[in-house]
Amino acid sequence: MTAEAGRASPRVASLPRVLGPIRPRPRWQELRLLVLVALALGIGSVSLGATMTGTFALHDPWGLGIYLAALGGAHVAQVLAGRRTDQILLPAVAMLGGISLLLMERLPQDLVVQRFFGASFGLAEVQLIWLVGAILVATTVSIVVRSDNWLRRYKYTWAAVGVGLLLLTFVLGTEINGQRLTLQIGPVSGQPSELLKVILVVFLAGYLSENRALLVEQDTWLGPLRLPPLPYLAPMVAMWAIALGIVVVQRDLGAALLFFGVFLALLYAATGRVSLVVVGLVLFLLGSAAMANLFDHIRTRIDIWIDPFSDPLGAGYQVIQALHAFARGGLLGMGLGGGLPEIGGRPPIPEIHTDFPLAALGEELGIVGVVAILGIYLVIIQRGLRIGVAAADDFRSLLAIGLALVIGIQAFIIAAGNLKVLPLTGVTLPFISYGGSSLLANALVIGLLLALSDKGVEPPPRPTASSRWRRLTRRGPD
Amino acid sequence: MLGRTGASRPLGPTTIHVALLLSAAFGILAGAAGYWGVLRAPELARSPDDAAVIAASRTVPRGRILDRDGTVLARNEPDQHGELYRVYPSPTVSQVIGYASRIYGRAGLERTYDAELTGLAGDPLTDAFAKFGAERFDPKDLTLSLSYDLQRAAVSALGKRRGAVVMLDPRTGEVLALASTPTYDASRLADPATAAATFEALRDSKAQPLLPRATLGRYVPGSVFKIVTAIAGLGSGAITAETTFKEQPRSERNGLLVEGFRVRDGHHPETGSKALDLIGATEVSCNIWYALTGLETGGQALVDHAARMGFGAPIPFDLPTAVSQVTNGGGTDPGGFVDDVELANASYGQAETFVTPLQMALVVGTVANDGELMRPRLVTALTGRSGTRSIAPESMGRVLSSTDARAINAAMVKAVEGPLGRRFTTGAKVSGVTTAGKSGTAELGGSGEPHSWFIGFAPADDPQVAIVVLVEQAGRGGEVAAPIAGRLLTRWLKGGE
């Protein structure tokens, strides 16, 4: 550990040095991978064009051009910034975003129509705007963020902001399809739970890095279970309550599952205590059982999951149509633009652009495509975890691991819902689903991961956990 | 130092555990993708609920259905929006062809061959490379063994009565006619303009016109079941064609006493004092001789031989079939009979025995084809862009030896052409052709009229066609079913091929 360096670095030095002297540093690996991504997307676009219009040309050269130019810009910005950050994350995410763009170009454009500044934009155009915005956010965050103090020191403030967002959604949220997920302020609307997941990870990383030693070293016996000191389990119970609260208030099963999953995985990563995970899972199952008994919509979801074919034209319709889409796709798929038979001008799955993009890709790119996409998510997870393990201190480690888990677990939950491995819950498929909140929040995650991967900057502050440890044990750290 | 060691305990191992867990979870997802995309794909992608199938059914012209002479039995018409619907030539084929309706789904051959008619490629290899093909759909025309001419004759012979006629070529299993009455007008079900009113009327009708009686109706067989008993008796070696029973002439007057129950008989004063053999007993349809044969054969052998001809399981056929049974299997005696009384009564078709007309066609077809049963089939060829695929005749196995089959054949000839047999099978004979057959009068208990049955084939020395006629509650087999059979056999042998 760098206790010496930590002590030596004065607090004032943590002022952001946004525009220091420009020292470009080439990023050949990133460039090579980005060229590969551009090639793959170009081929995909030609394939889409061939199917949709019958001509051997790019389907939408302007859209793809803008997207690739934005990626190029992001790369140049990283080179100019000269930070020694990860070079694989950006191309991996760029591939997913490009697949998203091709998919949105391929779906009926009137699925979403938004008006910005008097002009109206269709599905692919809106998604392209968000994708470029996401690239901007990720790049800016990865270049500008050189200190983590603003996250580290105010974890309870962040937690309060998170709970505030949740309450605000509850009070002011707009109800869509029986779910109160969307917060509309003026012309801007968004889903706060997307931002909430980042805040949650920041809080958990802060809390766990401070209390890790306690959670690991001290024991309380609860019957046969060896547990950490009970007071330190309070956040766990709070998390459990928040997750259930989200289910009750927002009717958002997916977010609850995601938050709780990230929480348990991070808790295990920090403490290595299986007993905690077991208690967490038991609490979760009890909570789920109670919820299923109390709320019809949750029971319906579970019934659909167990046997969607019992009501193929009613409740189980979307889930079954998704399975049919995978079946039609088979091993190699129908080709971009070749699947998704429209009945009366509509795609077979109503929520295809938000909840079922994987089913659409399964049909058009086949199992081969699905496995490749799952592989890209694993690459992102692997990079994130790697950044976490290599980070300079516990807070940064846990933050990076948590951010990677957010992407990975969210992708798993919705993919599993599409494939009938888990009940369907309405979370987005990161970087692929349509939606601004989702893209921007996930871009923020990638930006933070990139910033955390830079080992060349400011060392972390001296651990503060020791002070609490000292108070508790009445012994000095040295 | 304690705090420092605790805080700096490396995160590596636990992170690797988390990574492994997530990798395993993603592995499960890949497995699930393979499960739905490969293992379950053929079933899902060809299901009528599949969006591609639904979309195709409205735009891609469905394959036509043709009879054995090329007469079109199902074709397409565009509605006012340019979407296609089905048109059928007449209600006589509805129980076979079924219908394809946007609202009420599919029935009959339209259901069984939905994927082929829609033109979804069936084999996994074609499906895997579907994206490289220009046209995904290759609708197949079905060619049937059915004769539209014979089918119409069969329906008109049944007339306003409820019943069924099955005619097939015993040498190949090709079904020539498969009539069920009452019929319904499938065109009105397929036409979106008239579908709803038509369907409701048909569903509420007491005559159950939507029920294909030939394949799904289960009836008490009465004396036509004696042929099954004869097959089991000869096939198991329990009797020979010459076997006689001492008890039989003795019991003619007062009935044969089996465990306290009297098996009665009464058709034939001329032979009352004679000990009959297979031919004699079949000619006069002697219940007592057949009851004794059944008891001699035993329940197990009877049920086993029946099962070889399709009893006890749905018959493998192009249409859904009901399961025929010798007994309901509730008893503890061999074969599932309750006692010898049930076995004795079942031997002449009057116990817990229920059969479909199609099942009886397999029984009589077995005798006609020298003991070998051919799988019944309607569809003989599928023709699409990729060429024609013919479906070859297929044996369901040998049920009994050729010698035994000929003995039953001879007995059935006697039942139609013998001086006494003629009286029970009036009008069944095809003039100038040796005809074999057996009539049945299935008592239903209570006051209802019996079902009238006839099963047979011709020419007896070189069978080309086997027939089953059932008329619900129409009276004696010889009086109603036999003449219908005679007319239809004559039409096929003299007027057809």
- A375 falls in which pLDDT band (50, 70, 90)? very high
Contact, A308 vs A418, CB < 8 A?
A: no
Q: Cβ of B1 and A477 within 8 Å?
A: yes
For residue A176 the two structure tokens come to 């869509």
Q: Do B11 and A388 touch (CB under 8 A)?
A: yes
Q: What pLDDT sits at residue B126?
A: 62
Candidates A323, A335, A394; nearest CB to B7:
A394
pLDDT at B121: 58
Q: Is the pLDDT of residue A261 over 80?
A: yes
Q: Do B11 and A271 touch (CB under 8 A)?
A: no
Q: Which residue has the higher pLDDT, A251 or B124?
A: A251
Among the partner residues A214, A331, A394, nearest to B38 by beta-carbon distance: A331
Is B18's CB within 8 Å of A405's CB? yes
What pLDDT score was predicted for residue B5? 37
How many angstroms separate the CA atoms of B410 and B209, rounded?
Answer: 38
SS3 A243: helix
A396 touches chain B (CB under 8 A): no
At a CB cut-off of 8 Å and minimum separation 6, what does A464 contact?
A210
Closest Cα of chain B to A267: distance in Å?
A: 10
Specify the pLDDT at position B131.
63
pLDDT of residue B6: 41
* Chain A residues touching B130 at Cβ < 8 A: 330, 332, 334, 338
What pLDDT does residue B497 have? 39
Q: Using one digit for the tens of pLDDT, what is the confidence trace for A134-150?
A: 999 999 999 988 888 88
- Mean pLDDT calculated for residue range A252-268: 87
Q: How far is CA A249 from CA A441, B9, B248, in A?
A: 22, 39, 85
Rounded to a whole number, what is the distance in Å from the CA of B81 to chain A's nearest CA?
A: 12
C-alpha closest to that of B457 among B448, B465, B447, B446 = B465
pLDDT band at A280 (very low <50, low <70, confident <90, very high): confident
Instruction: Report domain extents, chain A.
Output: 23-473
Residue B248's DSSP bridge partners are none
pLDDT greater than 70 at residue A10: no
Q: Do A378 and B56 touch (CB under 8 A)?
A: no
Q: Residue B39, CB half-sphere, CA atoms under 13 Å: how many?
A: 7
Q: How many CB pairs under 8 A join A and B?
A: 177
Residue A305 forms contact with B (CB below 8 Å): no
Contact: A389, B26; criterion CB under 8 Å: no
Contact B54 A385 (CB under 8 A): no
Closest CA to A431 of A99, A118, A37: A99
Contacts of B439 (CB under 8 A, 6+ apart): B223, B224, B285, B415, B424, B425, B428, B453, B454, B476, B477, B478, B481, B482
Summarised one tens digit per residue, pLDDT across range B380-430 is: 999 988 788 899 999 999 999 999 999 999 999 999 998 888 877 878 888
* N-to-C CA span, chain B: 104
Between these two residues, B209 and A1, which has the higher pLDDT value?
Answer: B209
Do A268 and B17 lie within an 8 Å CB cutoff? yes
- Across the interface, do A1 and B28 touch by the CB < 8 Å criterion? no
Residues 352-391 of A with CB under 8 A from B: 362, 366-367, 370-371, 374, 377-378, 381-382, 385, 388-389
Distances (CA, A) of A459 to A5, A162, A446, B5: 7, 28, 21, 19
For A131, the token pair is 């994708």
Q: Residue B255, SS3?
A: coil
Beta-bridge mates of residue B66: B72, B143
Residues of A in contact with B8 (CB under 8 A): 1, 394
* A385 or A348, which is more confident: A385
What pLDDT was estimated at residue A446? Answer: 96
User: Is pLDDT above 60 for A302?
Assistant: yes
**Single-letter code of the amino acid located at A360:** A
CA proximity to A469, closest of A216, A205, A155, A151? A216
User: Encoding tokens for residue B239?
Assistant: 């009797």
User: Which strands sit side by side in the sheet containing A174-176, from one edge to the other?
Assistant: A174-176, A179-185, A188-190
Give dist(CA B323, CA B308) in Å, integer.
13
| Mean pLDDT (whole number) for A64-79 | 96
Listed as ranges, residues in chain B with pLDDT below 50 are 1-7, 496-497
Give the separation between CA B336 and CA A466, rounded to whole angstroms: 82
How far off is chain B from A325, nearest CA to CA, in Å?
A: 8
Residue of B125 and A441 predicted with greater confidence: A441
- Are A464 and A210 within 8 A, CB to CB? yes
Per-residue model confidence (pLDDT) at position B273: 73
* Separation of alpha carbons A177 and A351, rounded Å: 11
For residue A229 the two structure tokens come to 């000191």
CB of B347 closer than 8 Å to CB of B239: no
Q: Identify the pLDDT of residue A186.
A: 57
b/e code B210-242 from CB counts within 10 Å (16+ = b): bbbbbbbbbbbbbbbbbbbbbbbbbbbebbebe
Is A476 an interface residue toward B (CB < 8 Å)? Answer: no
Between CA B340 and CA B331 the distance in angstroms is 11
Phi and psi of B202, rounded to 5°? -65, -40
Backbone angles phi, psi at B262, to 5 degrees: -100, 115
C-alpha–C-alpha distance, residues B64 and B382, integer Å: 10
Asked if A334 reaches chain B (Cβ–Cβ under 8 Å), the answer is yes
Report the gap between the CA of B124 and the closest CA in chain A (Å).
Answer: 9
Cβ contacts of B330 within 8 Å, gap of 6 or more: B336, B338, B352
Q: Chain centroid to CA A162: how far?
A: 16
**Do residues A43 and A101 touch, judged by C-beta distance below 8 A?**
no
In whole angstroms, give the CA distance from residue A446 to residue A97. 13
Write out chain B residues lying below 8 Å of A330, CB-based: 37-38, 41, 45, 124, 127-128, 130
Torsion (CA) A48, A51, A55, A61 in degrees, nearest 10: -20
Give chain A's mean pLDDT: 83
B13 neighbors A385 (Cβ within 8 angstroms) = no
Instruction: Specify the higher pLDDT residue, A20 or B402.
Output: B402
DSSP string, A21-60: -------HHHHHHHHHHHHHHHHHHHHHHHHHHSSSS-S-
B216-310+340-380+399-495 has which fold?
Beta-lactamase (3.40.710)
Q: What is the predicted pLDDT for the residue at B180?
A: 94
Picking from B12, B43, B55, the nearest residue to A389 by CB comes out as B12
Residue B179, strand partner residues = B165
Place of tokens 């001699």: B296
Contact B374, B365 (CB under 8 A): yes
DSSP letter for each residue of B331-348: SSSGGG-SSHHHHHHHTT
Tokens of A338: 């070749």
Q: Which residues pair with B75 in a beta bridge?
A: B87
Contact B67, B148 (CB under 8 A): yes
Residue A223 has pLDDT above 80, yes or no: no
> Closest Cα of chain A to B187: distance in Å?
24
CB contact under 8 A, B14 and A272: yes
Distance separating alpha carbons of residues A85 and A77, to the nearest angstrom: 12
Question: Residue B393's closest CA among B206, B173, B181?
Answer: B173
For residue B309, give the nearest of B419, B443, B173 by alpha carbon. B173
Shortest CA gap A35–chain B (Å): 26
Chain B nearest CA to A21, separation (Å): 35
H-assigned helices in B205-326:
213-216, 226-236, 247-251, 278-283, 287-297, 299-308
Q: What is the pLDDT of residue B184?
A: 93
Antiparallel, parallel or unpaired: β B141-144 and B65-66: parallel
* Residue A1 in this model has a pLDDT that exceeds 60: no
